[in-house]
Amino acid sequence: MQFKFSKLVVLLVAAAMVFGFTTTTRTTAQDGAYVKTFDLTLPTADGVYKGIDPKGAKVTWWHNHTGAREDAVKAATEAFNKGNPWGITVEPINKGSYPVIYQAMLAGLQTGEIPQLTVAYQNQAATYQNAKALVDLDAFVKDPVLGFGKDLTDDFFQGFLASDVNPQFGNQRLGMTVYRSMESLYYNVDALTKLGYTAPPKTWDEFKEMSCKFVKEGLGTDGYQVRTDASFVAAAAFAQGGDIYDAAADTFTYDTPEVKVMPQVMQDMIAEGCAKVITENFGDQNSFIAGNALFYTGSSSGIPFVADGIAKAPTQFAFDIAPIPYKDAPVQDVYGASVSIPVTTREQELAAWLFVRWFDEPDQQAAWAAASNYFPVRKSTASGLTDVFTKIKAFQSAFDLLGSTKAEPPIAGYDPVRALASAALNNVLDGASVDEEFAKLNEEANKVLAANKPGSPLPTPLPTATATPSK
């Protein structure tokens, strides 16, 4: 099932309009208090950007959003352009998918044709920084005037804020979080109740038991269709108290016991007929929506689409979100692209930051979250999402799990490593030894890591760099 914006999603966009994108709200600066972006007095007298005047600056923003999300992007930039007192103009350009934008950036870094603001996954930003192409955003975040201050910094989900700090480049902040989503376990509440359970599984043993009972008692045919995305591998490792990368040692750790727990359980479940491999795009999601699978794992940003699919299915049922099965306590994998500010002129860099700073304020975050189905980056936005939580309980269940999270490694070369991780899990599902496959994966991943150390040349752009932006 491809994600398409339905009536339900339109309702969420409408909810966003209730909060709206702020253009006129003002605050009074007090000692140490956060001053809203439009109330800042510029140029500043101190800091890295002292004396820099962004008046009249133009910022091009390369993004990947389509449909209702693109509408929300346009609404946000229009509000900023209208409300900011410096005459800054932000022009959002749908440059295509994440891979297309990545290739366009690689090409632009060679030709000089780059935007002033771009969407970028953390590992992609690390690749750009091999060419010293990005502003270290801690210059802004830690600035006494241009930064967020202690109160608003504490209001961020700290795992989100930490995910853009890159250990390969001296802990530079190569991007800024503006939204996130989370690897989530979807479950059929009604089916679990029929099976005699009162809560979703906490451990993989319970997950297996429930899936097998679901199939054996004839409630469905699949139990679970196994997601083989690299984020599922990472999420399962985090939940076991492990990791796939050791930042201090700068090495991948795919061959550790915590990483291998989930792959072994999945292999056993397939052998016992309690799980199946995915044979078509969105096959796992379709199976769950149709009631054939008890569980489904995927991004939390898909919650409204799953809800809409179930509402249109021949048989409806209640569903909810639970943590990925864990060892001692839940630890959730959060992911999502950030925005990076390429090195251009000082005036454009400051102008781009002012837009990002404004976009990350609570009012704008509540509007964006309601329109996009992504999580906001601030805790305080929960009060602005009451309507969304009421419409879809699962969204609040997922939101409530954001207190304990980790992020996948923000390092250059992680894209090809992700492909290797997915291939390793697929091989395990086909019967290969978990120990052998993940030892091989770890060896190959560290070879990729070595080939992408800081200072490595930029990859050669692929032809997709000139592709027509998707709409």
Q: Name the band, by pLDDT with cuts 50, 70 and 90, for residue 399.
A: very high
The residues near 170 (Cβ < 8 Å, ≥ 6 apart) are none
**pLDDT at position 32:** 60
Q: What is the pLDDT of residue 470?
A: 33
Flag whether pLDDT at 31 surpasses 60.
Answer: no
Shared domain check, 210 and 65: no
Q: What is the mean pLDDT of residues 176-185?
A: 97
pLDDT above 50: residue 37:
yes
Same-domain pairing of 82 and 223:
no
Domain-embedded: residue 239 = yes
Give the CATH number, domain containing residue 196: 3.40.190.10
What is the average per-residue pLDDT within 413-425? 97
pLDDT class of 150 with cuts at 50, 70, 90: confident
pLDDT-derived band of residue 151, with 50, 70 and 90 as boundaries? confident
Residues 329 and 343 in one domain: no
392 in any annotated domain: no
Q: In this model, does residue 452 exceed pLDDT 60? A: yes
Within a domain: residue 471? Answer: no
Q: What percent of the chain clears pLDDT 90, i.e. is strictly above it?
A: 84
pLDDT digits (tens, 9 = 90+) for 344-376: 999 999 999 999 999 999 999 999 998 888 999
Are both 23 and 147 inside the same structural domain? yes
pLDDT at 24: 40
DSSP string over 338-385: EEE-BS--HHHHHHHHHHHHHHTSHHHHHHHHHHHSSBPSBGGGGGGG
| C-alpha span between 285 and 298 (Å, rounded) | 8
Q: Is residue 149 left, alpha or beta, with left meaning phi > 0 and alpha meaning psi from -120 to 50?
A: left
Output the average pLDDT for the chain.
Answer: 91
Q: Which of 27-31, 211-215, 282-286, 336-340 has the lowest mean pLDDT?
A: 27-31
Asked if residue 395 belongs to a domain, the reply is no
223 within domain boundaries: yes
pLDDT at res. 466: 44
Total domain count, the chain = 2
Asked whether the beta carbons of 181 and 375 are under 8 A apart, the reply is yes
Classify residue 45: in a domain, yes or no.
yes
Residue 388 lies in a domain: no
Boundaries of domain holding 329? 182-333+413-451
* Cβ atoms < 10 Å from Cβ of 69: 22
pLDDT higher than threshold 80 for residue 241: yes
Q: What gap in Å lies between CA 144 and CA 34, rounded to an integer?
A: 10
Torsion sign across C-alpha atoms 456, 163, 378, 366? positive
Do 345 and 43 meet the contact criterion of CB atoms below 8 Å apart?
no
Q: What is the pLDDT of residues 67-104, one digit of tens each?
A: 999 999 999 999 999 999 999 999 999 999 999 999 99
Whether residue 279 is found in the same domain as residue 427: yes
> Is pLDDT above 80 for 29?
no
Answer yes or no: do 11 and 154 share one domain: yes
For CA atoms 358, 360, 362, 366, the dihedral sign is positive
Evaluate whether residue 390 is within a structural domain.
no
DSSP-assigned beta bridge partners for residue 405: 332
pLDDT of residue 464: 57
Q: Is the pLDDT reported for residue 5 higher than 90? A: no
> Comparing 380 with 429, which gets the higher pLDDT?
429
**pLDDT computed for residue 111 by the predictor:** 94
pLDDT higher than 90, residue 157: yes
Residues 115 and 194 in one domain: no
Largest CA distance in the chain: 72
Please indicate, yes or no, whether residues 107 and 76 belong to a single structural domain of this protein: yes
Domain match, 348 and 326 both: no
Contact, 381 vs 395, CB < 8 A? no
Give the domain-ending residue among 320, 355, 376.
376
Determine the pLDDT at residue 414: 96
Q: Is the pLDDT of residue 288 over 60?
A: yes
Label residue 21 by pLDDT band (50, 70, 90).
low
Of the given ranges (312-316, 357-361, 455-459), which has the lowest mean pLDDT? 455-459
Query: Region 228-234: what's the mean pLDDT?
Result: 98
Give yes or no: residues 282 and 348 share one domain: no
- 257 has a pLDDT exceeding 80: yes
Residues 341 and 216 in one domain: no
The pLDDT of 249-257, averaged and rounded, is: 98
Q: Which residue has the tokens 């229009």?
A: 78
Residues 46, 78 within the same domain? yes
